[in-house]
Amino acid sequence: MRLSNGFVSALGVIAPLLLLGCGSDDTPAPSGSAGGGSGGSGGGAPFTFSSPRIEADELLADEFTCNGKAFGDGTSPELNWSHEPAGTKSYAILLKDYTIESGQSADTNPEHAFHWAIWNIPGSTHKLAASLPLAQVPMEGVQQQNGGPPFISPGTYGYFGPCPNLSAAGLGAPSETHGYGFVLYAFSEEVLTPPPYKPGSDADNPLNPVHQLADFFEEHPSLLDRNWIKFTSDAKPSTCPGFPNPPFTCAPASK
């Protein structure tokens, strides 16, 4: 799933990203910091999902966000799960911004809510190590895709963590705090084959491939259960290379 040619141009992403990170101060209260999982395979124990580096509903550590770094920088955290549903043969994980998705942000583009997805994680796996490689295939048989502009340091595929304050860094907008979540999906199929990416009809505002993956996961007939970890972020990048200056003052000035 590669991005369209229109997404490769920095100018092509300026219109949809002008408001990225201009959210409301009223971060939506999550319905639960973790949970949703029903009884798993371990004697009726609930399907669990956790991270040793994430505190429920608290700010995510800077190393996993863009805070104080270039827009798009940050490494993926360790993620763990157990007591999966009987018959689980693969997993997928999604990172999304609940503040944008719920419409409680000045950024009204729903495509901006979807940061990163990784899928075809084997059913025998119960942990993703921190600092995953940035390649399209970070582990044998496993694929990943991000929803950021292609000029960020993770490229087209690698982990793209929370960075809600691009506009604060580059356009002088107020800083905001957003609610985020990792969503874990368990499937009864070993290998998922997403449909081809559809960029949409507007080359200057292409659709987000991770949004399409999220819909694919949610609607897949082999989905057995899901769980999540919710947290917040007020990350603000120190630079935003790849964006044009003007108007983004966090980017190198245009010559």
| Interval 64-110: pLDDT, tens | 999 999 999 999 999 999 999 999 999 999 999 999 999 887 787 89
Percent over 70 (pLDDT), the chain: 83
Q: Tens digits of per-residue pLDDT, 203-246?
A: 888 999 999 999 999 999 999 999 999 999 999 999 999 999 99
Please count the CA atoms within 13 angstroms of the CA of 155 that sit on its side-chain side: 10
* CATH number, position 104: 3.90.280.10
The answer to whether residue 243 sits within a structural domain is no
245 within some domain: no
Q: For the chain, what is the domain count?
A: 1
Answer yes or no: is 238 within a domain: no
User: 46 or 21: whose pLDDT is higher?
Assistant: 46
Alpha-carbon span 99 to 84, nearest angstrom:
28
pLDDT digits 0-9 by tens, 163-173: 999 999 999 99
- Structural domain harbouring 211: 5-233
* Residue 202 pLDDT greater than 70, yes or no: yes
Answer yes or no: is 130 within a domain: yes
- CA distances 69 to 47, 134, 180, Å, are 35, 17, 19
Establish if 34 belongs to a structural domain.
Answer: yes
State the average pLDDT over residues 155-182.
96
Helices (H), 18-160: 98-101
- pLDDT confidence of residue 103: 85
Predicted local confidence at residue 243, as pLDDT: 95
Residue 109 lies in a domain: yes
